């Protein structure tokens, strides 16, 4: 397809400044993290308070291994962070980015 045919079919080779409003403000890692109902549920749980892997697993009904994989994806996307308080207790909590996107709209 040449340039004229692409324009005729609504296809553009490059984005213009006016097209920026259509660009999603999320990275691929963030979109992947948000594509799972379990990970969305985990973000909602962590909005309440920081939790250990065991607490999150118990509340979601998933085994620790599965929950660990979900938390790795959330952390990789920049939505959660870990804080070790003792040798055996690590808490997972939301980052500022996750708080921003999970904020309840009151308007």
pTM score > 0.75 for this model?
no
Distance (Å, whole) CA 32 – CA 51: 22
Q: Could you tell me what percent of the chain has a pLDDT over 70?
A: 74
Distance (Å, whole) CA 37 – CA 43: 10
Q: How far is CA 79 from CA 55, 84, 88, 104, in A?
A: 18, 17, 23, 16
Q: Which domains does the chain have, with CATH numbers?
A: 24-102 (1.10.10.10)
Q: What are 7-47's pLDDT values in tens digits?
A: 555 555 555 555 555 555 788 899 999 999 999 999 999 99
Question: What SS3 class is residue 62?
Answer: coil
Q: What burial class does residue 71 get, using C-beta atoms within 10 Å of its C-beta: 0-12 exposed, 13-18 middle, 19+ buried? A: buried
């Amino acid at each position: 397809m040449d340039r004229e045919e692409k324009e005729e079919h609504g296809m553009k080779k490059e984005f213009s400044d006016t097209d920026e409003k259509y660009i999603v403000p999320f990275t691929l890692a963030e979109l992947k993290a948000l594509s799972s109902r379990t990970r969305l549920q985990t973000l909602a749980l962590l909005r309440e308070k920081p939790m250990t892997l065991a607490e999150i697993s118990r509340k979601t009904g998933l085994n620790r291994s599965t929950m660990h994989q979900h938390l790795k994806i959330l952390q990789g996307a920049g939505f959660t962070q870990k804080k070790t308080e003792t040798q055996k207790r690590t808490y997972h909590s939301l980052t500022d980015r996750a708080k921003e996107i999970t904020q309840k709209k009151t308007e």
